Amino acid sequence: MKTVLTGASLFALTMLAAATPALAGKSDDTLNIAFTKELENIDGYFNSAREGVIMQRTVWDSLLYRDPETGEYKGNLATDWKWVDDVTLDFTLRQGVKFHNGADFTADDVVYTVNWVADPSHGVKTQRNVNWMKSAEKLGPYKVRLHLKAPFPAAFEYLSGPVPIYPHKYYAEVGPSGMGQHPVGTGPYKVVSVDPGKHFVLEKFDGYFKDSPKGQPKIGHLDIRTIPDVNTQAAELFSGGLDWIWQVPADQAESLKALDQFTVANESTMRIGYLDMDAAGQTGKDNPMTKLKVRQAINYAIDREALVKVMLKGKSKVVNAACFPSQFGCTDDVTKYPYDPAKAKELLAEAGYPDGFSVDFYAYRDREYAEAIMGYLNAVGINTNFKFLQYSALRELRMSQGVPMSFQTWGSYSINDVSAITSEFFKLGSLDSAHDEQVKEWLDTADSSIDPEKRKEYYKKALQRIADEAYWAPLFSYNSNYVFTRDLEFTPTTDAIPRFFQMSWK
């Protein structure tokens, strides 16, 4: 038995070492890419996946572009823009831009796109991306006025991201499903073939406008396949069938790095992990989570440093506030709860649970992190009854009857603003387990003000109160691992949106 096992593991290791990547994509100027998840519709208004965001940046352009290095907003399809008042924005559009189907880009395209997506009856999947816009108005062939429903300080962030501009004639003709099957945009790559959910082939768009802030595409073709199993992805990488994979789990990335055959890059992302606790007593008025000391105990019980160091690895960081540190309005100046199991037990005893208690603990992703958290909770006497559900099922449950405690994560759609996370969860919505009127009031003030200093001040108040009350147990930020052929030049960004148009062969 022993020899068999030794043999097996030696076998696998030597095999990996012996395997040499064959047939890399550089020779035929094609970057072979794997997606883990099936993308439902390439039309970015009708998917909510990270893969969709990537495709949207690759095939389409938005009015603005945020430079991932500097955070500065640059003109993309617009060349100039200014606030007329709190709810009105004027744009001057770029001239000479062409869509992939040959149509010219004009004000009509912006007006049509905005008015179409802002209409809730058209069912844009992620309403929060578009529902702040009221309408668009044509002021001239290359001049557009955008009307907002209410003051919306994060407007630039959205306009540089999830609001791509579509060709008005074509979109009116084919609609979302037609756009999904034969996408047409102005972006650096045009789509050659779509096999929904399975396979996308993209080609460099030779007519891409020269002074785009995105730069010019360099690699000839992008061949994107959906491969669900990470092992299969790695196997393809070894056999040369793939050149670039991402979202590689930390342990595998580390092992791949040790083999020294590929480039392994790591970058932090905006996603944070946290424990959500039923402080408002949705699951029962006297449930343990309603007690401040219990929530504090849970915060003290978890060794977040250790989790980051040995499980998440890479550029992940411990998070103390209910937001991602780089987001506008986020602050680290809040009450901190270092790892202290003795104190946790003490607090539990003071709260009336000297022998701990049992609780249902829910999660929907990253089972191993949830398991490790459970281990820490068990160690201070909190017995967890683990339930792993689909995201949708867990959400449904939280909305209808609430859950006492769950491991949640939130990526803020890469929106670099606290309104995309703290305001999302602490304004008495159906996913707000705190139900704190005071927090909501401060967040409302911050969300609707366009004075940056005032926004910061009120976000800070809200975040401090959230930490004092220990409504959440913020845990860590995520990171993403990219593994790719050494022929490729690529630097990941913190927004976790790989930009294929900036990649090149070495």
Q: Pick the binder of another protein from 150, 306, 352, 506 (CB under 8 A).
A: 306
Taking the complex as a whole, the smallest distance from the CB of residue 77 to another protein amounts, in Å, to 26
Q: Which is nearer to another protein, 253 or 279 (CB)?
A: 253
Q: Which is nearer to another protein, 11 or 83 (CB)?
A: 11
Q: Pick the binder of another protein from 378, 468, 491, 506 (CB under 8 A).
A: 378
Taking the complex as a whole, the smallest distance from the CB of residue 393 to another protein amounts, in Å, to 7
Q: Residue 74 pairs with which residues in a beta bridge?
A: 65
Choose the stretch contacting another protein; rule: CB under 8 A; options: 56-64, 148-156, 271-279, 363-371.
363-371
Q: Are 239 and 30 in contact (CB under 8 A)?
A: no
Q: Which is nearer to another protein, 155 or 234 (CB)?
A: 234
Per CB under 8 A, contacts with another protein among 254-283 are 255
Q: Pick the binder of another protein from 172, 310, 326, 358 (CB under 8 A).
A: 310
Site string for another protein, 387-426 (x = CB under 8 A): xxxxxxx-xx--x----------x--x-------------
Q: Which is nearer to another protein, 223 or 278 (CB)?
A: 223
Report the relative pairing of strands 244-246 and 221-226 from DSSP bridges: unpaired
Which residues touch 175 (CB under 8 Å, ≥6 apart)?
A: none
Q: Which is nearer to another protein, 61 or 223 (CB)?
A: 223
Taking CB under 8 A as the rule, does residue 339 contact another protein? no
Beta strands across the sheet bearing 133-140: 78-85, 88-93, 143-148, 133-140
Q: Distance of alpha carbon 216 from its chain centroid, rounded?
A: 25
Q: Which is nearer to another protein, 6 or 193 (CB)?
A: 6
Q: Which of 208, 166, 213 minimizes the C-alpha distance to 66? A: 213
- The count of other CB atoms within 10 Å of the CB of residue 14 is 10
Per CB under 8 A, contacts with another protein among 218-237 are 225-232, 234-236
DSSP H or E segment with residue 146: strand 143-148
Choose the stretch contacting another protein; rule: CB under 8 A; options: 9-17, 71-79, 134-142, 184-192.
9-17
Query: If binding means CB under 8 A, how many residues of this protein chain bind another protein?
Result: 80
CA geometry: angle 160, 419, 369, nearest 5 deg = 100
Q: Which is nearer to another protein, 110 or 245 (CB)?
A: 245
Integer Cα distance of 283 and 219 in angstroms: 54
Per CB under 8 A, contacts with another protein among 485-504 are none
Choose the stretch contacting another protein; rule: CB under 8 A; options: 127-135, 202-210, 443-451, 490-498.
127-135
Per CB under 8 A, contacts with another protein among 237-256 are 238-239, 241, 249, 251-252, 255
Q: Which is nearer to another protein, 209 or 376 (CB)?
A: 376
Per CB under 8 A, contacts with another protein among 55-114 are none
Tokens of 203: 């080609």
Integer Cα distance of 224 and 219 in angstroms: 14
Gap between the terminal Cα atoms of the chain: 47
Site string for another protein, 31-50 (x = CB under 8 A): -------x-xx----xxx--
CA geometry: angle 182, 188, 192, nearest 5 deg = 30
Per CB under 8 A, contacts with another protein among 176-205 are 176-177, 180, 195-199
Taking the complex as a whole, the smallest distance from the CB of residue 395 to another protein amounts, in Å, to 5
Q: Are 322 and 422 in contact (CB under 8 A)?
A: yes
Taking the complex as a whole, the smallest distance from the CB of residue 169 to another protein amounts, in Å, to 22
Which residues touch 403 (CB under 8 Å, ≥6 apart)?
A: 278, 283, 360, 362, 394, 397
Q: Which is nearer to another protein, 70 or 392 (CB)?
A: 392
Taking CB under 8 A as the rule, does residue 12 contact another protein? yes
Count of CA atoms in the C-beta half-sphere (13 A) of 258: 8
Q: Which is nearer to another protein, 40 or 457 (CB)?
A: 40
Q: Are 31 and 503 in contact (CB under 8 A)?
A: yes
Taking the complex as a whole, the smallest distance from the CB of residue 293 to another protein amounts, in Å, to 25
Report the relative pairing of strands 88-93 and 143-148 from DSSP bridges: antiparallel
Q: What letter represents residue 367's amino acid?
A: R
Integer Cα distance of 93 and 89 in angstroms: 13
Q: Which is nearer to another protein, 125 or 182 (CB)?
A: 125
Choose the stretch contacting another protein; rule: CB under 8 A; options: 275-283, 321-329, 336-344, 381-389.
381-389
The string of DSSP codes covering 360-413 is EEEESS-HHHHHHHHHHHHHTTEEEEEEE--HHHHHHHHHHT--SEEEEEE-GG
Site string for another protein, 311-330 (x = CB under 8 A): x-------------------
CA geometry: angle 20, 23, 26, nearest 5 deg = 115
- The count of other CB atoms within 10 Å of the CB of residue 70 is 8
Integer Cα distance of 504 and 489 in angstroms: 5
- The count of other CB atoms within 10 Å of the CB of residue 230 is 15
Taking the complex as a whole, the smallest distance from the CB of residue 87 to another protein amounts, in Å, to 20
Taking CB under 8 A as the rule, does residue 372 contact another protein? yes
